[in-house]
Structure 1
């Protein structure tokens, strides 16, 4: 395999990423990506599936432990190979440039830009409910607000890394304060709600293996996104030490927040009440603050959506930049703005792609959201391959300095791969049982990968290009 360029060094362009991000900024990016709207929905599903408070809390704690194991694996990869390409760079080194490009295609089409558009719609839906535009109707109003959010945040990114970092830190602070408000609201309610127990509580035997497994699917989806720290590993100060600390501190903070928020839900609503609630956070805040509670939860969801969109834009554009560095046909994406310290061209392309997806969403409505959700097997496939990449690179590239090594190797990496494989199987099972437009939803991910394979074949001549690593 030809030697790969390292996009963290100036081997092809004078401008390249510099270590400018402080530790707390990277923590804000990770927390902002992970703590999405799921924490306002999935706790009710997990409560219904586990049927018992002890098992419910164990599921959320176990999700934090599994995420911590994965973070240890990524800490080794990111500290040994700090690069703006993140997973793309790890997959390319381990399996070759064709697979790396296929991942970059999937990430651009559905994993990143799809998430940006989908979360922008979440923001737009809530804002449209608060500030309706009668002449447009709810769907177009939501799309308009979603597009404005993408444009404004893209403008912040294009202004430079400092403005992005400030925005992310403040959005994350507001997000955390909002979650703590949910916890404080639980304290303000003197008498918890009494809900008839329709959930089978069985502390002795616990939930069935299939029920607990499905509960963990929702828990791990709510924890998802911490791996995005790898995409700023070339820009964090003292990367060999701080990338590990950023991942560890973030997972611990997120786990503590999730346990606290679930405790707040449980204290007020109980396990059965959580399972029956359709809007668990809204119910809690409405009980604590009356009609104002509905406004508070709407604002909290909107801030959470913006926080995640902003953080996703940061890491998403870095993939485009890294691909542009490696592939001559896409060299335009590999331009780095030295004064603003951002991949300007990649940000523009990402913005346009997200706006196009928002336009599609305005036309198709729920079909667009389903399309993004039904591509989850694609995400878990590449996540699994990233875990395998750690094992491959340990054997193939033993001479590379590894400032951090996964403890209990290879047990923990194998555990992480096993969890990813289970999530891949679970997501495939779910998608296979769904349909969209009369077609089995499993074909959506297949189409994404097939189009990516065609792209790889069209660009295959550049695989013979010779690169030297500085």
Structure 2
């Protein structure tokens, strides 16, 4: 078979991003609201300290394996579309279109709305706001970050590095708070029972839905693979970023358990704020609330950096969407695609506010679709090795095909668990939106023929 087609010379993004900038996007896509919200739900599912820490470590290993798979795909098929390019090469144009549609209508847009809700919800701890006001402020933050990134990719990634530094500082502060409590000889607030029941498969599966929500997002950074200075820079960014995130998450979860105890963690809806308040009083709580808000906006910023790129790439393949397939060469951004993506995020913020369950509504909406396509991307490593062996691969995932198969199987397991957690009625909305993508594609093709 011939080598995969290259990007059009008129739309080749400039290779201007360093490893540090790309790693900052990787970490910014992952470290966000999850680690500050989901440990409570994991503690409720598992009940035991050892089981909790083991599950978070396993999640880190799973995410690192995924990063290794994406490192090979990104090095061999660098493209602003990320998964879109991988799925198109492996499974054809229809599968790639459905991914692009889901990324546009479900995954990225719902993730952006979710993070905006989290950031504003935490800020509301300091400045009380009603539901309508929170929605307005959340929408305002989306607009502000969009405007920042439309100034150019370098501006966006510089802001990302600064915000990721604050994310890391917030997680390290949790570890420091737990060490301070230990130094003062203060026992965990609510240690929980000395003996716990064995963890069931259903409980473990449910806990992994929450854990992988916190680890999720590393694959989205592959949309920058055509903009890093060299193929190995993307590999270093993915692997190095995920290794650092796993270490930080283990520190944070140990700190939660040491400071709050398992029962205290299971009862706290804001464990980071509870831990910092116990260690340092009101001042500590205020600092971490600001840190959590910054973490949420950091991921939101990263979503805006990469969010329009898949839509831009898909639009290049659809003549009816030619106006969206415009790349601002001077600023290094897909301007039209970013604006369209932002419009959908604002609509979802309005929907989430109307339901009164902003964060939960977005999680239910995006989870099943996200893990469906991540499973397919894991399998794409194997499919492309077989179909296009002649393509140069500056990096190859080790222990092939074991690791890609393990990653795909793990993603499929989380997919099943997410379907069980969301329920069939919830999945009907998500998969209904996916089916709508086929209708839209048919309509676009008819428009071109006419």
Instruction: Please indicate the TM-score interval, normalised by the length of the shorter structure.
Output: over 0.9
Post-superposition offset of 1:56: 2.0
Aligned residues: 447
Residue number in structure 1 paired with 2:209: 217
Flag the 1:246–1:462 CA change in 2: closer, same or farther, 3 A.
Answer: farther
Matched, 1:101 2:93: no
The separation in 1 between residues aligned to 2:121 and 2:271, in whole angstroms, is: 18
Structure 1 residue aligned with 2:61: 65
The answer as to 2:142 corresponding to 1:150 is: yes
For 1:196 and 1:184, how far apart are their aligned partners in 2?
19
Aligned partner of 1:288 among 265, 276, 279: 279
Are residues 1:6 and 2:6 paired? yes
Q: 1:461 offset after TM fit, Å?
A: 5.9
Matched-pair contact (CA < 8 Å) for 2:209–2:414:
yes
- What CA distance in whole angstroms lies between the structure 1 residues aligned with 2:324 and 2:59? 36
| 1:76-95 aligned within 5 A | 76-95=72-91
Separation (CA, whole Å) in 1 of partners of 2:186 and 2:12: 56
- Is 213-222 or 312-321 further displaced after alignment? 213-222
Deviation at 1:390, TM superposition (A): 1.4
Q: Name 2:114's counterpart in structure 1.
A: 118
Query: For residue 437 of structure 1, what is the aligned residue in structure 2?
Result: none
> SS state of the match for residue 441, structure 1?
helix
1:173-194 per-position Cα deviation (integer Å, ceiling 9, x unaligned): 1111111111111222223345
Please name the residue that 1:188 is paired with: 180
Retained in 2: the 8 A contact 1:48–1:199? no
- 5 Å matches for 1:139-288? 139-189=131-181, 190-195=184-189, 198-199=192-193, 201-202=195-196, 206-239=198-231, 241-288=232-279
Superposed CA offset, 1:332-369 (max 9, x none): 12111111011111111122222222233343332684
Cα–Cα, structure 1 residues 187 and 197, in superposed 2: closer, same or farther, change >3 Å? closer
What's the counterpart of residue 425 of structure 1? Answer: 416
Q: Is 1:450 paired with 2:406?
A: no
C-alpha contact 2:120 2:138 (8 A) present in aligned 1: yes
Measured in 2, the distance between the counterparts of 1:463 and 1:68 equals 43
Alpha-carbon separation, structure 1, partners of 2:193 and 2:202: 16
Q: What's the TM-score, normalizing by structure 1?
A: 0.89
Contact preservation (8 Å) 1:86, 1:231: yes
Determine if the alignment matches structure 1 residue 317 to structure 2 residue 311: no
Contact 1:217/1:426, CA 8 A, preserved across alignment: yes
Corresponding position: 1:47 with 2:39: no
- Taking structure 2 as the reference length, what is the TM-score of the superposition? 0.93
Contact kept? 2:21, 2:161, Cα under 8 Å = yes
Q: Please state if 1:404 is matched with 2:395.
A: yes
Structure 2 CA distance for partners of 1:427 and 1:59, relative to 1, 3 Å: same
Q: Is the 8 A contact 1:236 1:242 kept in 2?
A: yes
Give the deviation of 1:288 after TM superposition.
Answer: 1.4
**CA distance in 2 between partners of 1:145 and 1:266 (Å):** 33
| Per-residue deviation, 1:171 | 0.7
Give the superposition deviation at 1:195: 4.9
Q: Tell me, which stretches of 5 or more residues in structure 2 are unaligned?
A: none
RMSD across aligned C-alpha pairs, in angstroms? Answer: 2.3
Could you report, residue by residue, the CA deviation over 1:397-432 in whole angstroms, capped at 9, with x for unpaired residues? 111111111111111111011101101111111122
Q: Unaligned 5+ residue runs, structure 1?
A: 434-439, 465-470
1:29 maps to 25
Structure 1 residues 194, 238: closer, same or farther in 2, change over 3 A?
A: closer
**SS of 2:379 mapped into structure 1:** helix
SS of structure 1 residue aligned to 2:324? helix
